[in-house]
Amino acid sequence: KNEVEQSPQNLTAQEGEFITINCSYSVGISALHWLQQHPGGGIVSLFMLSSGKKKHGRLIATINIQEKHSSLHITASHPRDSAVYICAVRPTRVPRISGGSNYKLTFGKGTLLTVNP
């Protein structure tokens, strides 16, 4: 079982709709990141959360540490919001295997969002 699960895997919406993408994780974390990846491949960091809620423009991200769950909401969706949205967590304890980094993020598989005009 992946430590970070996202749902849905794919989401198609009509312009103007309210969108929610969910992320559940199974480990203790120090932070959770929401990332946006456009078809060209580049990744933009949308939010970093360790508690509560953040808002930036039409995007809202919430996190419930007790329930190990986060949501990304997009209000008044637009075709330019079409992208892959990735949830990533930074575990509080990363097992040190021989070699390896203590700093690694664990990524969800992403949610492909398509917003049609």
User: Could you list the residues that contact other proteins (CB under 8 A)?
Assistant: 30-31, 33, 35, 40-45, 48, 50, 86, 88, 90, 97, 99-101, 103-105, 107-110
Question: CB-wise, 19 or 46, nearer to other proteins?
Answer: 46
Question: CB-wise, 63 or 77, nearer to other proteins?
Answer: 63
CA angle 98, 102, 106 (to 5 degrees): 110
CB of 26 to other proteins, least distance (A): 16
Residue closest to 106 by CA, chosen among 116, 91, 117: 91
CB of 15 to other proteins, least distance (A): 27
Task: Provide φ and ψ at 101, rounded to 5°.
Answer: -110, 145
**Structural contact between residues 83 and 74, judged by C-beta atoms closer than 8 angstroms:** no
Q: Considering just the CA atoms, what is the radius of gyration of the chain in Å?
A: 15
N-terminal to C-terminal alpha carbon distance within the chain: 36
CB of 102 to other proteins, least distance (A): 9
Question: CB-wise, 19 or 34, nearer to other proteins?
Answer: 34
Question: CB-wise, 17 or 62, nearer to other proteins?
Answer: 62
